[in-house]
């Protein structure tokens, strides 16, 4: 065989580079072409369902209602509307306040979990993570039952009102707490006990150790958690919608402008404005993450806290108080869902479920949510994991990869409201060949998977990176096509991570409101959206019932995932722990 190019290679798009350019390229094996085809497909799918909608928002923001190009007129008009301008300020200060309150609470909780010898750590941790299972607006509903006009503890409020900023802030603290806690627990776990031993041998005081070792060690975690909380707060829609009253924020403005006033151009402007703080925080976070990398060496010694009676007791007290408060918030929604007629008749009743949901014809929304969650957790996981695998472990197509990689992490910086808005703009026009997707469950699956793509992708990449990079090389040397190794080795080894992704997608699909609130049709109303609608109609009892259903379902499914994990560990992971 000579170096003369095979005729087939001439037609190959990957093989374009002419020989005289001085670049040698390997011929592409047909099995690799299959990988390339999938990767091109994945990139195109992400371009279509992420980039195109986002670009459409940009386009809409410089058009008037008739679709004529008007430059920055919409922006100018926006900045001259005091009510809208106030929303920016509201969003910023509320989100900042939520961050300032949540971070110390979550840090103390995480500190107690990692650095004390208090008992019941697992229980406390799970109690603190419970809000993740609920749609964010559950907190708002609960606070209304506690402190609203007819709330149990209304007298405590004096002349004050829970509706508006106070309710938004406390609800958001509740909703963001577990997200901050998870990051901070990880940050505080990644410590090297030898640093503390060295400090002890030098006679360092407890306070000095805390400020010279603990805080610097957790610095990146703190920044990261702060960014996550801030972003969550500024882009959340459900909480200000339910408990915000007349207090306007950017996320609710988008909804009002687009759904209420059908003012798409101005909606697009608000969307872009909302994109700015989120993009900034994620840029900061990405920068910080990059610098964090090698904080912990392989030789680090894990920190084992020593018993300290007073400290442990104080930490336990803090955690129990916080956990009980969390459960009180969650419990109130569930309790209220069984109360016959708030606040007049507190006897037990299933009316809100039977009359409020089933007879009112709202129950199918719950089934829709289950469908959505199922498809996201199955198809979404497969797509995300396969794409991550192709990106990390296959070769060739070098120009295309960075694009797909960028697409995979971009959704992190896009608030759900903005993504949903982009979808309307992109899919509603009948001229779009994909218009048929509008109003279907499929588009809800797509928007939800894209919305939660980045975290899932990063989970998959982390798991894949832990696998020896030479598996694919070995397979190729043994003439085994990549998919065989993918199914026989990669998938079994990464199964725990894949289950994590699947669970994450399921729970988020059950609880999400923001992106899907624009995209449902009468046939595809989701449970979380139904809560918004019920609340708007004043049916807060059935709203609580629906929220409770979601929580119970999420909790139940998490339990299933847990047992699936245990079972699979026994069956397929036996090699891990010989």
Partner 1 sequence: MEYLELSGIRKEFGEFVALKDVALDVHAGEFLCLLGPSGCGKTTLLRIIAGLEVQSAGRIVQAGRDISRLPPMDRDYGIVFQSYALFPNLSVADNVAYGLVNRKVPRAERAARVKELLALVGLPDSGAKFPGQLSGGQQQRVAIARALATSPGLLLLDEPLSALDARVRVRLRGEIRGLQQRLGVTTILVTHDQEEALTMADRIVVMKDGAIEQIGTPAEVYLQPATPFVADFVGKTNLLPAQCSGERRIQVGAQRFECDLDGKTANGAALRIFFRPEDVRVRGVNGSTPNSAAAVVEKIEFLGAYSRITFRLNGIEQPLVADLSVNDMAEFHPRPGDTLRVALPSERLRVFAG
Question: Taking CB under 8 A as the rule, which mask of x and - marks residues 59-98 in contact with partner 1?
Answer: ----------------------------------------
Considering the complex, what minimum distance in angstroms separates the CB of residue 491 from partner 1? 10
User: Please, are residues 458 and 539 in contact by the beta-carbon 8 Å criterion?
Assistant: no
CA atoms within 13 A on the CB side of 253: 28
Considering the complex, what minimum distance in angstroms separates the CB of residue 17 from partner 1? 11
Considering the complex, what minimum distance in angstroms separates the CB of residue 403 from partner 1? 21
Q: CA-CA distance, 141 to 138, in Å (whole number)?
A: 5
Kindly tell me which of 24 and 345 has the beta carbon lying closer to partner 1.
Answer: 24
Question: Taking CB under 8 A as the rule, which mask of x and - marks residues 543-572 in contact with partner 1?
Answer: -----------------------------x
Check residue 161 for interaction with partner 1 (CB under 8 A): no
Residue 362's beta-bridge partner residues? none
Considering the complex, what minimum distance in angstroms separates the CB of residue 8 from partner 1? 13
User: Please, are residues 494 and 544 in contact by the beta-carbon 8 Å criterion?
Assistant: no
Six token digits for residue 473: 């090389």
Six token digits for residue 439: 């109003």
Q: CA-CA distance, 95 to 91, in Å (whole number)?
A: 6
Check residue 298 for interaction with partner 1 (CB under 8 A): no
Kindly tell me which of 276 and 474 has the beta carbon lying closer to partner 1.
Answer: 474
Considering the complex, what minimum distance in angstroms separates the CB of residue 501 from partner 1? 19
CA distances from 246 to 86, 171, 251 (A): 12, 16, 13
Kindly tell me which of 26 and 430 has the beta carbon lying closer to partner 1.
Answer: 26
User: Please, are residues 365 and 529 in contact by the beta-carbon 8 Å criterion?
Assistant: yes
Residue 311: Cβ-neighbour burial (10 angstroms; 0-12, 13-18, 19+): middle
User: Which H, E and C letters describe 368-391, residue by residue?
Assistant: HHHHHHHHHHHHHHHHHHHHHHHH
339 phi and psi, to 5 degrees? -85, 135
Check residue 2 for interaction with partner 1 (CB under 8 A): yes
User: Chain-centre distance of CA 330, in angstroms?
Assistant: 20
Question: Taking CB under 8 A as the rule, which mask of x and - marks residues 492-531 in contact with partner 1?
Answer: xx--------------------------------------
Considering the complex, what minimum distance in angstroms separates the CB of residue 1 from partner 1? 5
User: Please, are residues 128 and 199 in contact by the beta-carbon 8 Å criterion?
Assistant: no
Query: Which segment (19-27, 131-139, 155-163, 431-439) binds partner 1 by CB under 8 A?
Result: 19-27
Interacting positions 469-498 with partner 1 (CB under 8 A): 470-471, 473-481, 484-485, 488-489, 492-493
DSSP string, 250-293: HHHHHHIIIIIS--HHHHHHHHHHHHHHHHHHHHHHHHHHHHHG
Query: Which segment (37-45, 119-127, 196-204, 468-476) binds partner 1 by CB under 8 A?
Result: 468-476
Kindly tell me which of 32 and 392 has the beta carbon lying closer to partner 1.
Answer: 32
Closest C-alpha to 126, from 569, 558, 568: 558
Check residue 20 for interaction with partner 1 (CB under 8 A): no
Check residue 3 for interaction with partner 1 (CB under 8 A): yes
**Could you list the residues that contact partner 1 (CB under 8 A)?**
1-3, 22-29, 31-32, 468, 470-471, 473-481, 484-485, 488-489, 492-493, 572-576, 578
């Amino acid at each position: 065989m000579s170096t003369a190019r095979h005729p087939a290679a001439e037609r190959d798009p990957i093989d374009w580079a002419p020989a005289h350019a001085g670049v040698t390229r390997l011929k592409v094996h047909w099995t690799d072409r299959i990988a390339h085809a999938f990767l091109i497909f994945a990139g195109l799918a992400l371009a279509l369902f992420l980039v195109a909608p986002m670009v459409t928002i940009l386009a809409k923001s410089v058009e008037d209602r008739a679709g004529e190009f008007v430059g920055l007129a919409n922006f100018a008009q926006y900045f001259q509307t005091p009510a809208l301008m106030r929303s920016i300020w509201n969003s910023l200060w509320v989100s900042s306040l939520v961050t300032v309150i949540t971070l110390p609470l979550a840090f103390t909780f995480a500190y107690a979990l990692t650095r004390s010898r208090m008992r019941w750590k697992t229980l406390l941790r799970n109690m603190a993570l419970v809000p993740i299972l609920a749609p964010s607006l559950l907190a708002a509903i609960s606070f209304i039952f506690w402190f609203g006009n007819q709330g149990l503890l209304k007298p405590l409020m004096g002349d004050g009102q829970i509706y508006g900023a106070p309710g938004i802030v406390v609800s958001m603290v509740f909703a963001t707490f577990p997200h901050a806690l998870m990051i901070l627990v990880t940050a505080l776990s990644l410590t090297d006990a030898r640093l503390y031993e060295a400090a002890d041998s030098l006679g360092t005081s407890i306070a000095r150790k805390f400020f010279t070792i603990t805080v610097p060690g957790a610095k990146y975690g703190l920044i990261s958690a702060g960014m996550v909380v801030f972003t969550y707060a500024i882009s959340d829609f459900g909480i200000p919608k339910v408990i915000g009253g007349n207090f306007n924020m950017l996320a609710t403005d988008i909804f009002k402008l687009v759904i209420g006033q059908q003012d798409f151009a101005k909606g697009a402007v608000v969307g872009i404005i909302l994109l700015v703080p989120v993009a900034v925080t994620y840029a900061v976070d990405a920068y910080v993450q990059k610098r964090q990398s090698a904080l912990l060496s392989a030789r680090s010694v894990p920190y084992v806290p020593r018993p300290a009676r007073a400290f442990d007791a104080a930490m336990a007290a803090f955690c129990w108080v916080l956990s009980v408060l969390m459960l009180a918030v969650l419990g109130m929604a569930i309790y209220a869902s069984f109360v016959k007629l708030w606040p007049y008749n507190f006897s037990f009743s299933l009316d809100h479920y039977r009359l409020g949901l089933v007879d009112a014809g709202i129950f199918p929304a719950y089934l829709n949510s289950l469908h959505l969650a199922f498809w996201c957790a199955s198809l979404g996981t497969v797509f995300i994991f396969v794409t991550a695998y192709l990106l990390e472990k296959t070769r060739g197509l070098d120009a295309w990869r960075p694009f797909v990689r960028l697409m995979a992490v971009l959704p992190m910086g896009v608030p759900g409201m903005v993504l949903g808005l982009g979808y309307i703009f992109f899919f509603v026009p009948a001229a779009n060949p994909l218009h048929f997707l509008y109003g279907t469950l499929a588009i809800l699956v797509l928007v939800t998977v894209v919305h939660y793509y980045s975290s899932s992708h990063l989970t998959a990449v982390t798991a894949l990176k832990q696998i020896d990079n030479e598996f694919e090389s070995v397979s190729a040397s043994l003439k085994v096509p990549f998919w065989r190794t993918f199914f026989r080795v990669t998938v079994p080894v990464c199964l725990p991570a894949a289950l994590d992704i699947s669970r994450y997608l399921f729970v988020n699909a059950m609880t999400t409101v923001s992106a899907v609130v624009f995209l449902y049709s009468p046939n595809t109303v989701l449970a979380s959206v139904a809560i918004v609608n019920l609340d708007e109609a004043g049916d807060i009892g059935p709203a609580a019932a629906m929220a409770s259903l979601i929580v119970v379902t999420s909790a139940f499914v998490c339990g299933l995932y847990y047992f699936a994990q245990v079972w699979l560990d026994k069956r397929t992971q036996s090699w891990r722990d010989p």
